A = this chain, B = another copy of it.
């Protein structure tokens, strides 16, 4: 059982015990004592005491004094996806390398009060920058920017905010690549399923798909473009696609989770994959690799995006006045499995 916390030892106490000034202790414990000409002997004595008394520097006090907390706010939706975890891993790893910063992770949420509170908390805790998903409410976005806290969007570029930094996966490019892949496998009637037609991300990806089709001498039929807001239920969209006389011979999904739902729906209506119809998704997760599923995907380098976002955040912290950093990542990995 936790024994009652004896009050943790402070630098002042160490100074007293060693018979030196607090400054000396501070310099020694921060390893900068040589530059201040403190004798090895004194240093050793201080280090010994610190060790013996199990000294742990109080980062709260240090933050207050230095006027910097070493905190980078991370604000992602729910954290419920493989994507989110992977991004966070990248951010954490990058900050870790830097040594001076750690992530303070908040979670976006449908409830506006929740989201507002999370932003308030990040601000009160004096995060030095924030990495967040463009799904953040614009009022919250403003609160961050107004405070002068550097902000980096991750995953997609933010809609209608041209002056913000971001690191995004190049939707147009990867949708085009996926479409080309399908065409190269002989598919000619390719449908596109995305989440929300009104979103910029949908449009970007749809455009990539359309351009690639055009390149290949095909064209995008309106009837083969579907948006599925409740992405776990692609059933209706699939059924309506296959109620048409000209059935698609391939389906390109915006999200792997939609593709999984599409596969279920296709199984139900008795279409064979990939013989009758190929299925492919933008984005990947371990599920897709399961032998029973074998979904062919274009995988997003999510960890890399996280790393870059962290890097940009650090850069903006160091020079807040610098121009926004906007990066479209075109890398992807085509994971060819059984559905194409």
Contact = CB atoms under 8 A, between A and B. Distances in A.
Interface of A: 1-6, 8, 54, 56-61, 63-64, 69, 78-80, 84-85, 88-89, 92, 96, 102-107, 114, 117, 120-121, 123-126, 145-151, 163-164, 260, 263-264, 267-268, 287, 290-293, 316, 320-321, 323-324
Residue from A4, A92, A103 with most neighbouring chain B CB atoms (10 Å): A92
Given A96-B114, A124-B57, A2 B290 contact: no
Contacts of A290: 260, 263-264, 287, 292-293
Contact of A151 (B2, B107, B121): B2
A58 B124 contact: yes
Which are the 8 A-B pairs with shortest beta-carbon distances?
A: A5-B148, A264-B291, A59-B124, A292-B292, A287-B287, A1-B163, A60-B63, A105-B105
Contact of A293 (B69, B120, B293): B293
Contacts of A320: 2, 4-5
A316 B63 CA distance: 27
Copies of this chain, tallied across the complex: 2
A286 B8 CA distance: 45
A121 B107 contact: no
Given A102-B121, A263-B292, A292-B267, A56 B147 contact: yes
Contacts of A145: 2-3
B323 A2 contact: no
A47 to B, nearest CB: 16
Contacts of A125: 59-60, 102
A260 B124 CA distance: 44
A154 to B, nearest CB: 16
Given A267-B291, A290-B287, A5 B147 contact: yes
